[in-house]
Amino acid sequence: MEQVKQYRGDIGVFGILVLALMAVGGGTLMFGGSWLLLLGGSAYYLIAGLLYLLAATMLFQGRVAGTWIVALLTLATAIWAWWETGGDGWDMLPRMSATMVLAVMLCIWLLRLRNTGRSVRRTLWPLPVATLAGLVIWAAAFATGGENNVVTATRSGTAQVDATMPADASGQDWQAYGGTNAAMRYSTLTQITSDNVDDLELVWEYHTGDMPAGETEGKYSPENTPLKVGDTIYVCSAMGIITAVNPVSGEELWRYDPAVAPQSIPYGATCRGVAYFDTTIATTPNPTTEAGLPDIGAAKPDSQPVLAGDVCSTMIIYGTLDARLIAIDATTGLPCPEFGDAGEVNLLDGLGETVPGWYVMTSPPTIVNGIAVLGAQVKDGQAEDAPSGVIRGYDARTGDLAWVWDMGAPDRTGAPAAGETYTRGTPNMWTIAAGDDDLGLVYLPMDNSSVDYYGGNRSPAENEFSTSLVALDVATGAVAWSFQTVHNDLWDYDLGSQPSLVDFPANGFTVPAIVLASKQGDIYILDRETGEPLTGVEERPVPQGGVEPDYLSPTQPFSTWHSLARPDLTESDMWGMTLFDQLYCRIQFRQAHYDGIYTPPTSDAHWIQYPGYNGGSDWGSLAIDPKRGIILANYNDVPNYNRLVPRAEADALGLRAINEHKAKGETSLGEAGAQKGSPYAIDVNAGWRVPFTGLLCKEPPYGGLRAIDLATGETLWDRPFGTARRNGPWGIPTFIPAELGTPNNGGAVVTAGGVAFLAAATDNLFRAVDITTGQTLWSVVLPAGGQANPFTYEADGIQYIGIMAGGHHFMETPVGDSVLVWALPGLIPPQK
């Protein structure tokens, strides 16, 4: 007893702090661990909590044997963490961090003890030894490199194919969002190679001047890919301000401001791009019959050339957040007087009721054979009675309506009669279409219905065309074919990626094909004339149940080509910063409904949607190297944690649709949608984030970069993409340079020089990657987030690579207004 009293007297303030942390942590683990065990989860947390409480009690009493318990638990935790993660250092982080910090603190305290006697000090050795052993095991996990830390390189692609390369694909220009309407995001330029890319130098940086302030604060996500045509670059800012820039010097040539009101911003202020139209080489649409309908049988006459120098002989055509289709002279930036009403077409005509921010244009139109084809973004989750998702084709020269595709009224070919509207609530196309001038087809990646997570009230047309790739005859607007990637979509798995056109090797021949990526991580390769799959597509059984068991499809299509192929989540995939938030995520996992991909939406408890609605592939789309036969896909790998909220509960919380008067004292349900007209609102935890740290519940990687053999679908290499240098708990950057794999938005450009360029990740880095190995060859820190697709071009014999660093509010990267361009030194002309 004398030794115990003497020992207790030496505890000190630091010792009290250590033992208090141990006791509180042990109690928390014991309580949460008991809960987890009752839910059928791991017993580790309960056992660890009991042992920490026992050790804290013994040490407070002066019984040094308590250190032996901590030593045993520290070593056992390291072994358990290695076993459960497969020896991945980053996956071990939440399992090891708090354990090792507590062990080290206890060691420091024990070293500070005085008057304990030599015999007592001799009994303390197991703890420092166990602590050191735990650190060695953890370090070994980092050194050996778990699956999240490895670049797996195998070989180059086997398909040496000539993809669809239009006449404007020489590499000198970047004439459309995806480079050309074929949308491969590929350049034939070879000046920049894997051998010299590390020498790139910044040539110029241009600022649009469009930055958020006041009502627009926290809402900017420009996502813009500038075009380069001839001697001009065309930039579209977040609020739709168009500027023309010299491609060599970055000097501003002209500016056009459409004066969009801040109230028109939907989720974010976005302008992904504009369309360039040369009236001297375009073809007019088919003539019409006396009834005003397209004359399908008539030959298409060549357009009458417009003399160079005439007003609007070349045009920039784009849509705005306040739903105007605008045409301006590509040379002067002045409105085209013969287009629509003094250069504008009101896209709200025929829609019926809407409010600012509900129906907006964020993507450029696709111009095929002189017809500008466009959809629009209809803000998700608001109401079944939303503005129509109608697709419209306009004469690119005059702005006249050529045709409409209203899936709810298939016989409608023009604007609705007075007092009527386009069919409300139908799926829309918010992303970018691709086009084939030779076939006269435009390819539409379609969204889901306005209410994403409830389908019982949908029409047959909605069920047929939602989440489908639809090919329209650009002369008439008639459906040529459609291919559905999700049947009866209840997961917001809309097609966000622009498809790409290639000539695909099949049975010894090349077939005109279209390559389509999905948010589930599937890659479909279809005959672009017929829509028939050219690669494996299987209908597989999927989970059933939820609130709409009769609406669910018993099977869903799965492609054998993948950008993201991951096993189902398990409890051990949960992550966090410490044992405590990992325990929280494990409890959430066990409480939720989850039976793998396509787990049905539920209301009694949350359900896990994996992948979430942001990935695999989104609007950044695929990049394809046709010469090497490689598909390059950057992807997201994060789940969502969702719950359908019964209407009475949502109303009581004040959740309202965009067109309703907001309730006083409105209560947020996370990223919620009212889904008016259905029995349920929706509460979405995008990325499944821990509320008290902001970290994600799933272990990394959260994003990756994969090269896929175009001919076989085999993975050539796959790597995590994005470092943690800008990420951390509570939004505090960790500055850790390791490639953990972050969420990413934006795509890549691949070049004939063997180099791919992309930013996209949340670390504000712009990278050059070797297309054959996946190794990063060059990187530079951007002044803001790089959530945009790069572009490359040639001017005066010099290859340039550029990107808009505009940032992204949803991705939580810094917002900016910069367009930056690099080239190789020694070739850069002197700047005035």
Q: Can 595 be counted among the known catalytic residues?
A: no
Instruction: Write down the residue that tokens 């910090």 correspond to.
Output: 101
* Dmax (CA) of the chain: 111
Pair 586, 38: CB distance under 8 Å: no
Structure tokens that stand for 227 in this block: 């075009």
Cis peptide before 611 (omega within 30 of 0): yes
Nearest by Cα to 684 from 346, 257, 265, 380:
380
Pair 736, 725: CB distance under 8 Å: yes
Q: Strands across the sheet with 522-527, in order?
A: 500-506, 509-517, 522-527, 561-562
- Phi-psi category of 492—alpha, beta or left, where left has phi over 0 and alpha has psi -120 to 50? left
Identify whether the C-beta of residue 337 lies closer than 8 Å to the C-beta of residue 397.
Answer: no
> What span, in angstroms and rounded, lies between the C-alpha atoms of 599 and 547?
11
Please say whether the beta carbons of 598 and 613 come within 8 A. Answer: no
CA 549 centroid distance within chain: 29
Question: Measuring CA to CA, how many Å separate 123 from each of 166, 470, 822?
Answer: 79, 74, 64
Q: Give the residue among 180, 344, 333 at the shortest CA–CA distance from 260.
A: 344
- C-alpha 385/C-alpha 367 separation (Å) is 30
Can you tell me which residue has the tokens 């354990």?
99
On the 0-12 / 13-18 / 19+ scale of CB atoms within 10 A, 603 is middle
Residues 554, 256: Cα–Cα separation, whole Å = 52
Dihedral over Cα of 244, 246, 249, 251: its sign: negative
> Rounded to whole angstroms, how far apart are CA atoms 124 and 80?
23
3-state SS, residue 755: strand
Q: Is the four-CA dihedral 465, 467, 471, 473 of positive or negative sign?
A: positive
Let me know: does 116 contact 63? Beta carbons within 8 Å.
Answer: no
Residue 335 main-chain phi, psi, to 5 deg: -60, 145
What is the three-class DSSP state of 588?
helix
> What is the C-alpha separation between 758 and 748, in angstroms, rounded?
5
The one catalytic residue in 88, 322, 437, 492 is: 492
SS3 for 631? strand
Contact 297, 475 (CB under 8 A): no
HEC string for 351-379: CCCCCCCCEECCCCCEEECCEEEECCEEC
10: tokens are 């030496």
Q: Are 525 and 514 in contact (CB under 8 A)?
A: yes
Task: Give dist(CA 175, CA 366) in Å, integer.
Answer: 11
CA distance 58 to 50: 12
Provide the angle, in degrees to the nearest 10, between the axes of the packed helices 579-591 and 93-112.
150
Q: Which of 252, 220, 260 is nearest to 234 (CA)?
A: 252
Q: What is the DSSP letter of 238?
A: T
Instruction: Give the residue numbers marked as catalytic.
Output: 492
